[in-house]
Each structure stands twice: as structure tokens, then as C-alpha cells.
Structure 1
Amino acid sequence: MRVTRVETFVLDERQVLVRIEAETGVVGWGDASLEHRPATIAAAVRELSAHLIGEDPLPVTRHWQRLSRGGFYRGGPVLASAVAGIDQALWDLRGHHFDAPVHVLLGGPCRDRIRLYTHTWGTPGHTGDPARAAMLVGAGYTLVKASIAGPVDFLDAPEGVERFRADLEALREAIGPAADFGIDLHGRVSLPHARRLAEAVAHTRPAFLEEPLRPEHTRHLARITASTTIPIAVGERLYSREEMLPALEAGIAIAQPDVSHAGGITEAFRIATLAESFDVQIAPHCPLGPVALAACVQLDLAIPNFYAQEHVIDLTSAASPDLAILRDPSVLVAVDGAILRPEGPGLGIEIDEDVVRSRHRDDLADPVGNPQWTYADGGYAEW
């Protein structure tokens, strides 16, 4: 069996799909999205795909080595995301070839349900929406997440700290003591201010404090973990075991690799194995579409140290527009705040190719991108 075709489909700024086809007609799909960089990723996938044409698609790890290391220059969000999408597609194809889900090929399921969490969003200037949080908990979610409102000054004024504290107290009151909430600082705050915020809200018993520092400051994480009882979660902007290792050594509680950024299922599985040695659990980052989420679910099922799975798309029903590229959307519909173990081959989903091809866009070379924030003096502020 040989690879005959590798295609990319740009559906939007957060959904760049990879399709790999073998001469036998077996097909695999992956998500290589790097948010707001669709043309860049599509180009990277096209360049890397030359290494696959005419090759046997089944030895996934061997392909991962060549794709990740064979160009001499390696790593970083662009190359690691391109490799991730290809890797997911190769695993999906492998699963269809052997008529088995990826998690079975990785050793079998460690669980039957995948605990989900999603965002509470919030009104401008506030962290989280208590009403939405209560609605999610009422629908069966045992974990939700709120992102700090921004921009946040290097040392924000006391009123900002007080607003943050009051918002989280309201969030805790809305969901009660039986559910959890995480706080996402999103790399928006400085190290000293992160410590101040953690102290101000520790009494609300958050499940975790996410990205208290920018990823380039990973070496300083131990100063945060040692100063608070709130578990620390990081990893969405770390792209390999080597980048994750200093965070693990710094004492984080939850690692959040992105399966569409950190080298795919192959590397994320290794990150999970490494994290297990540090008594760290895995909560894969996933602000993307259903293919990326399906890849995360396969990883979640296969690792013993799984914590919870993030999602941002609508999983409330099979009629969700976010699931429209799936022939059977029901496999990703949330049931009491969880996804039940999919039993289909590969990633456990079936793509409607006609829908994907009809949605492909060639006009996203100049994407909208993230909001651009500034401080009162005009200086750059982290989004």
C-alpha cells in the first residue's frame, strides 16, 4: 500500500484539514490548524507531503521522525502543527486499514467516557458568566473555565484585582461546591501579578490556574507553583516533550498539549507518558473543530493520566453547525458533560467529503487574526 495523494482544505481560520489517500482507497483525515495562520499551515503541509507520496502510510512513527527532523530545522508552531495534522491523518488511515479505533491501536481504552469542559465566556471587563456556568453544570458538566478579562497591566490596579476576585466568587456561588472551574490567565499577566491574583482567589478553590505566564517564561514557573496552592496548568504553546519537560520539573499539575500543534497524536502520547512520571495529568488544549477534537478523544481514551478535554464548538446536538462536516455527528455530542467512547475506526468519525470540498476557501491569505490590544499608553498588550 502506498500514499497516492495528500490534500489540504482551508475551511476557516481555525480549521485546516489534511486528507491522505492510499492506492487501496483508504483515506485518513487530520487537523493541522494553527489559529489565524491558515495559508501558512497549508503551505507547510504541502511541502511536507512530498515525503509521503509513494510511501507506505502505516509506519506512522517512522514518518513522524522524517517529517519532524528531516528538514534539519525543526519545531515551532508552524512545523509542529503541520506535522500534527499529517500525523493525525496517518493514524486515522491506519485505523481504517486495521478496522480499529486509534485508541485501540495505542493499547486500548483506559476509560469509557471523556470528561469535557468548555468556556463560560463573560461580559466585557469580567471573568466568566455565572449564568452560563450554571447552565453548563445543569447540563452535566463538572468542570468549566473562565478567562481573565484583559488587557491586564504589569501590576494591575487594586480595583482590577477586586473585580477578578468578585467575579470568581460569583462563579463559585453559581456552580456550587460539587463542580469545578478553571481560571485561564492566557499569558496576559506578569509573574508578580499572577502571584497576586492567585492569592486573591485561592479561597474560591479553583481547579487550576492556566497559563499564568507567557510560554517564553516557562523557566520561571517554579516561582508560581511554589507560591500558591492552586494547581497550575500550562502547555498549549509548548510543542514537544523537550519544551514540556521544564514545566513538568517546575511542579505543574496539568499539562495541556494541543494535539494539532504539538506534533499530533504521536508526540502528545509521548508527552502524556512523560507527564505521568511527574504525577501530572493531561487536559489537551482544543479550540478547533471536530476533527481536532476527535483526535484528542482518541488520545484521552488511551492514556491513564487524563484529566479533562477542552472544547469550544457546540456539542449540544447532532444538528450543531459545528459538526456539519461529519456524516454521523452524534458520536461527538456531549452526554451529561462527556463524550462516550467512539467505537468507529481511526479517529472514530466519518467525514462528509462533499461538505468539506464545498467549504474550502482560497481567500484566507490575509486572515482577521486575534484582537490587537494596547495599554493606555499605546504599548502592546497580550491578548
Structure 2
Amino acid sequence: MTAITGYDLYEVPPRWLFLRLETSDGLVGWGEPVVEGRAKTVRAAVEELLDNYLLGEDPSRIEDHWQAMYRGGFYRGGPVLMSAIAGVDQALWDIKGKRFDAPVYELLGGRARDRIRVYQWIGGDRPSEVGEAAAEKVEEGFTGLKMNATSELRRVDTPAAVRAAENRLREVREAVGPEIDIGVDFHGRVTKPMVKRLAEALEPYDPMFIEEPVLPEHNDSLPAIAAHTSIPIATGERMFSRWDFKEVFESGSVDVIQPDLSHAGGITEVKKIADIAEAYDVAIAPHCPLGPIALASCIQVDICSPNALIQEQSLDIHYNRGGDVLDYLADPGVFEYEEGYVAAPNGPGLGIELNEEYIEQQAEKTVDWHNPVWRHDDGSVAEW
């Protein structure tokens, strides 16, 4: 029997954790198990999963391994465990694809499309100079953009704060015209009363969606928000399993779901989430401000999911300091964006080849990324 024999973990810039999983017959699979800002915590969780459940086991039994990792520890769910499972799951699918010399999407039913549209981030954490940046990205061929709506907001903020968000979106819309899609990320920074005001102000500029209008712990308010606006609602980057998504599907309040392939249980779980979403007439646009392994995993699911809408990717995103998506690939051309799309990869497994020498060099650097802690004028902690 072929068995999982060893693994290595590499924490690399800007804020990523890579897993290298090896089998007794020499196959290697890669995964990206990380919570941004909690890489060391997830690293420990990955080590526990591999040491307790998977070393010495047959790598082909992906579903069984997923169930053992999820259910075997009694306590389940949450960002740390599900991100650890996600990275292991990605690596197992990479191995299986290489064993059969086929892309993962071929093992999940085959292509539902030939390419998937991607969008490009503009504007940074505290969005500024977005009009010029938007025009540049459209000139590069992107047809989808995303920007943060605001910096920190008070629970009930001023009319000026609303007008500032409106003016930014108007600036982008005027720069790129009506043929370009613009996603607007509320980033969980916005409270229910401010969502209503902001949605009304932004509606004339036809955003593709408003993302995470409220924190997931307030998803019960989404039906009222959906009734208040015609803008499609997207959410899901901080939801980690199909059970987390049940409420929003059943409420009928969400139009686009955004599970993260490195946070929501990997390829196995997100494909199930996508299939459930299709039954509720909900699109999927996987969250991915991460590295090349996470992006490759997303694309595998996108290609075989009929309801995939668009794919986030982190090239040139404001977080990427000291490393970017293409730097870690032996062949960066696999993520070549043409007319705002990326083609279905043809290579086996996840369809990418990692530059292992470069990864080892980068892993020698000190990586200690944490998101900023923002505060309001009165000193209280603000949502980032």
C-alpha cells in the first residue's frame, strides 16, 4: 500500500504557510493551510492532524481522511482547525491528480467551463486614489475589480463618511464605465444602521456586490438588508463549513458566497458548498487573498462548478510585501491572465509546479504578519 510518509511546513513572505506532503512512492502534494496572522497556530494544528491521523495512511482515501480530521477530535469547526484541514486536503488532491495524471477538476466531474474570470484589487485597506488605479487595471485587461468601501466606521457615523464612500465608487465607475464589474467590500467594518445608509448611497453606481456587509455573527440581519437594496449581497470568507452556510442559504438573503479554499475545509468541502449553493440559485466566488497553492485550488473548483461567478486573486494586492503569487512558481505562465480570465490548467493535480529551492530560501526569513489593530477617535477598538 502507498502511504503518506512525511511532510514539511514552510512559513514564507508575505503571510503564507505552505505544506509539502510526500508519499512512499515519491509523489509530492502541496497545500496552503493558513489563517492570516495566525500561521504559527495553524502550523501546530497541521502537525497534530498529520501526526495523529495521516502519517502511514493511504493518501487516496480523501473523504475518509477529511471525516477523521473533522470529526475525530470531538471539537470541530472554526478557522484554525478548518484551515489546517484545508491545507492537508489540498495536498491530498494534488497527490491524487498526479497519480492519475489529471487535473483535480477532471476527478470532480470535468470542466463546466474553459476559463474563469478573475478580479483585481485596487485601493488598499483605507481606500484612496481608486479611480486612477481602476483605469490602469482595466487597461491591463481586467474586467472585474474590487475595493474596500471604507476605512474604520463608527457604529453610527456621519453623513460625510457615507459621502466619502459614495464618491470613491463614483470615481471608479466614471473611470471605467458601465462594462466593468466593481465589487465593494464592507469587510465586516459596517454596522447594520450604516449598511442601510451605505447601500442606498452606492446603489446608483451598480456595484457587482457588497461583500460581508455585516460580520458573520450578524448573518441573521441579512434578510432585512437584502430587502433594503437591489445590490447583490456576498459573504462567506469567515464561514468555514457547509453547516456554517446553511442559515444564509435557507434565508434566501445571499446572492454570492465566498468560501475560502484555505479556510473552509479545502477542495473537498468547498465543492460541496458550491453544489449546495447551486440548489439555492446562489453563485460562488471563492475568497483568495492568499498564495499560489490556494489560488490553484480555487481554480480547480471553479472550473468544475457551474455556478462559479468570478475568482479573487492576490497579485499586487496591498498585503503582498516581500513576496507575491507568481514568485513561488516554477512556471508563472499557468496564471497568465488574458482578457481578465485565467484558463483551466492542464497540468496534473493542482496544475502548478512550485519552485522548491525558492520556497526554502524564503522560509529562512522571519515572517510575522499580523493585521493592524485599528481604534476609533475615543480609543475603542474598531473593526479592521
- The one-letter code sitting in structure 2 at the alignment partner of 1:248 is F
Q: Please state how far the C-alpha of 1:183 moved relative to its aligned partner.
A: 0.6
Counterparts of 2:125 and 2:145, CA distance in 1: 16
What is the RMSD of the two structures over their aligned residues, measured on CA atoms? Answer: 1.6
Unmatched runs of 5 consecutive residues or more in structure 2: 318-322
Given that 2:315 and 2:324 are in contact with CA atoms closer than 8 Å, whether structure 1 keeps it comes out as no
Counterparts of 1:23 and 1:223, CA distance in 2: 54
Given that 1:13 and 1:37 are in contact with CA atoms closer than 8 Å, whether structure 2 keeps it comes out as no
- The one-letter code sitting in structure 2 at the alignment partner of 1:328 is D
Counterparts of 1:237 and 1:127, CA distance in 2: 25
Instruction: Name 2:44's counterpart in structure 1.
Output: 43
Counterparts of 2:293 and 2:369, CA distance in 1: 22
- The one-letter code sitting in structure 2 at the alignment partner of 1:98 is F
Instruction: Name 2:21's counterpart in structure 1.
Output: 20
Instruction: Name 2:59's counterpart in structure 1.
Output: 57
Given that 1:83 and 1:263 are in contact with CA atoms closer than 8 Å, whether structure 2 keeps it comes out as yes
TM-score (norm 2): 0.95
Runs of 4+ in 1 over 2 A off after TM superposition: 361-364
Q: Please state how far the C-alpha of 1:122 moved relative to its aligned partner.
A: 5.2
After superposition, give the CA deviation of every residue in 1:283-316 in whole Å (9 maximum; x if it has no partner): 000010111101111011010100000011249x
Give the number of equivalent residue pairs: 376
Given that 1:209 and 1:232 are in contact with CA atoms closer than 8 Å, whether structure 2 keeps it comes out as yes
Instruction: Name 1:96's counterpart in structure 2.
Output: 98
Given that 1:127 and 1:168 are in contact with CA atoms closer than 8 Å, whether structure 2 keeps it comes out as no
Given that 2:7 and 2:19 are in contact with CA atoms closer than 8 Å, whether structure 1 keeps it comes out as yes
TM-score (norm 1): 0.95
Instruction: Name 2:86's counterpart in structure 1.
Output: 84
Q: Judge which range, 93-102 or 354-363, deviates more.
A: 354-363
Find out whether 1:350 has 2:325 as its counterpart.
no
Find out whether 1:158 has 2:144 as its counterpart.
no
Instruction: Name 2:7's counterpart in structure 1.
Output: 6
Matches within 5 A, 1:282-361: 282-314=284-316, 322-361=325-364
Q: Please state how far the C-alpha of 1:358 moved relative to its aligned partner.
A: 2.0
Q: Please state how far the C-alpha of 1:224 moved relative to its aligned partner.
A: 0.8
Find out whether 1:254 has 2:261 as its counterpart.
no
Counterparts of 1:208 and 1:127, CA distance in 2: 20
Find out whether 1:212 has 2:252 as its counterpart.
no
Matches within 5 A, 1:363-378: 363-364=366-367, 367-378=368-379
Given that 2:12 and 2:365 are in contact with CA atoms closer than 8 Å, whether structure 1 keeps it comes out as no
Given that 1:10 and 1:17 are in contact with CA atoms closer than 8 Å, whether structure 2 keeps it comes out as yes
- The one-letter code sitting in structure 2 at the alignment partner of 1:60 is I
After superposition, give the CA deviation of every residue in 1:118-177 in whole Å (9 maximum; x if it has no partner): 2111595x4661111112122221110110231111111011111111111111111101
Q: Please state how far the C-alpha of 1:15 moved relative to its aligned partner.
A: 1.0
State the secondary structure of the residue aligned to 1:152.
Answer: coil
Instruction: Name 1:274's counterpart in structure 2.
Output: 276
Q: Judge which range, 190-199 or 129-138, deviates more.
A: 129-138
- The one-letter code sitting in structure 1 at the alignment partner of 2:48 is E
Unmatched runs of 5 consecutive residues or more in structure 1: none
Residues 20 and 378 (structure 1 numbering): CA distance in 2 closer, same or farther, change over 3 Å?
same
Percent identical pairs in the alignment equals 46
Counterparts of 2:199 and 2:128, CA distance in 1: 14
Instruction: Name 2:169's counterpart in structure 1.
Output: 168
Residues 175 and 356 (structure 1 numbering): CA distance in 2 closer, same or farther, change over 3 Å?
same
Q: Judge which range, 10-19 or 328-337, deviates more.
A: 10-19
Q: Please state how far the C-alpha of 1:363 moved relative to its aligned partner.
A: 4.3
After superposition, give the CA deviation of every residue in 1:305-363 in whole Å (9 maximum; x if it has no partner): 00000011249xxxx95312211110012112111111000000011222212221474
Instruction: Name 2:238's counterpart in structure 1.
Output: 237
